[in-house]
Amino acid sequence: MIPWHDGLMAKRPAAKRDFMQVAREVVEQAIGEQMDGNPLPLPPSDERNPHAVALGSMGGKKGGKARARKLTATQRTRIAKKAAKARWE
C-alpha cells in the first residue's frame, strides 16, 4: 500500500508577502540603507561557541567515511537489509 503522503510534497512559504514589500527590501539591500535614509539594522550576532562550531564541522566531514571503515561486512549487510526493508514497506 502506498501512503498518500510520502514526504515529497512541496513546502509552502511561511507567509505571503506583498510584491512591493519584497521589491523595497531588495532596493534597500542594494543601496545599503532604508528608503528614508536611515541605516539598515545590523544582523543579529552569531552567539554560537566557535570551538563547538569547529568541532561540529570537523566531525561532519569525517562522518560517513569513518563509520564505514569502522563497520564490519556483517554490520554493513545488516544495515543495508534494514534500509531496503524500510524502503519497501
Name the residue with cell 511561511: 14
pLDDT in tens, 64-81: 888 888 999 999 999 999
pLDDT at 4 (0 to 100): 58
Give the length of the chain.
Answer: 89
Q: In which region does residue 32 sit, left (phi positive, over 0), alpha (psi from -120 to 50) or beta (all else)?
A: left
pLDDT at 50 (0 to 100): 87
Name the residue with cell 554490520: 75
Rg, the chain, Cα only: 24
pLDDT at 68 (0 to 100): 85
pLDDT at 81 (0 to 100): 95
- pTM for this predicted structure: 0.38
pLDDT in tens, 2-55: 555 556 666 776 777 889 999 999 999 999 899 899 999 888 888 888 888 888
